[in-house]
Amino acid sequence: MIWLAYFILGFLALRLLVALSNLLTRQWLHPGQPEGNALVSVLIPARNEERNIRKLLESLGRQKYTGLEILVYDDLSTDTTARLVEECAKKDARIRLFHGEGLPRGWLGKNHACHQLARKAKGEYLLFMDADVTAETKLISQALAHLQKYKLSLLSIFPQQTMLTLGERITVPLMNWILVSLLPLILTRTSSWQSLSAANGQFMLFNAKTYRKHHFHQMVRNQKVEDIIIFRKLKQLGLRGHTILSNGQVKCRMYTSFREALQGFSKNVFEFFGNSILLTIFMALLTTFGFIPVYLALGIEFAMGWLAGAFLLRALVAASSRQNIFQTVLLMPFQQLAYFLVIIEALRVRIRGKSNWKGRKV
């Protein structure tokens, strides 16, 4: 028991060091000016996005960087997505709408949409953005400057999350809690190890020459967690990428309810842990009940120290992620419960062998 207690304390200490390193090395998108005015193709796959698409397109219209074309792929939406894009295109000639024609066998919807958009794009850089994000005016110029500065083939950014309901506040922070406490983000750029990979499909900026050579979305055509796998393949090819956090330049409201978040996160929670169900469950047990073996083996002082460290970890992650620190710490017990519910939902989907997302089986 005592060795388990020491392991639990050591693991927490390691995660605190990782989270602190991400904070101290300032793994955010920083101010910067790109060289030249190369054409950037902003590529937006959209399926039933009437709630979000206008806000994104309007925010892109306010970008300081002017060398843009904005392509939207309407993936057989059953709502007013296409009409809203057409209305925006009348006000901004850089916006073009393409209509999907069905999903080929062996492809998932988003991957196929991104592949089709890349085929139509003319830019020297390809920026894939999800329809549920919004962009601050200097986002693209700063992202392009970062990519050029470090000579990257791919820059991916985790947006700052907007959370309005209690259901969102107890689920959405889980993503950054896992990422920022387990992966020193600077190593996504400086290390060639494929295990040190992360990416977010909500914002992925590619050097177009590299993308057109490898057709990354075609490589992962049937993968649900395409962003992380693309980053791993990038490293496998000896190319450079970097994944960082938003400092407010790009924001997102991923989900609007607890049920929606539960369904969304269940699609990829295992992938955070190398697609290992056992490792994912072990992480949930360790981070929720770790104080129990520590208390039994080492006493109340060490158990209270573990709890204090767990709360401190939440605070460090929230600070790096530009989330409300007090709110995140206060809701930690409920977030741990939500973590278990996400795993249960993911197991249910794995057993069934399929799930539904935006009216389509995946």
Position 355 scores a pLDDT of 58
Residues 225 and 156: their CA atoms lie apart, in Å, by: 14
249 and 271 part of one domain: no
65 and 207 part of one domain: yes
Find the domain containing 284 and state its range.
2-24+262-347
17 and 149 part of one domain: no
pTM reported for the whole predicted model? 0.92
Judge whether 362 lies within some domain. no
The SS3 call for residue 146 is helix
Residue in 303, 272, 310, 304 with CA at minimum distance from that of residue 288: 310
Number of neighbouring beta carbons within 10 Å of residue 197: 23
How does 290-305 read in b/e, with b if 16+ C-beta sit within 10 Å? Answer: bbebbbebbeeebbee
What are 269-313's pLDDT values in tens digits?
887 787 889 999 999 999 999 999 999 999 999 999 999 999 999
Residue showing tokens 């060490």:
302
96 and 244 part of one domain: yes
14 and 66 part of one domain: no
Judge whether 29 lies within some domain. no
What are 121-168's pLDDT values in tens digits?
999 999 999 999 999 999 999 999 999 999 999 999 999 999 999 999
63 and 124 part of one domain: yes
240 and 273 part of one domain: no
Residue in 295, 203, 292 with CA at minimum distance from that of residue 241: 203
Judge whether 31 lies within some domain. no
Q: What's the number of domains the chain is made of?
A: 2
222 and 248 part of one domain: yes
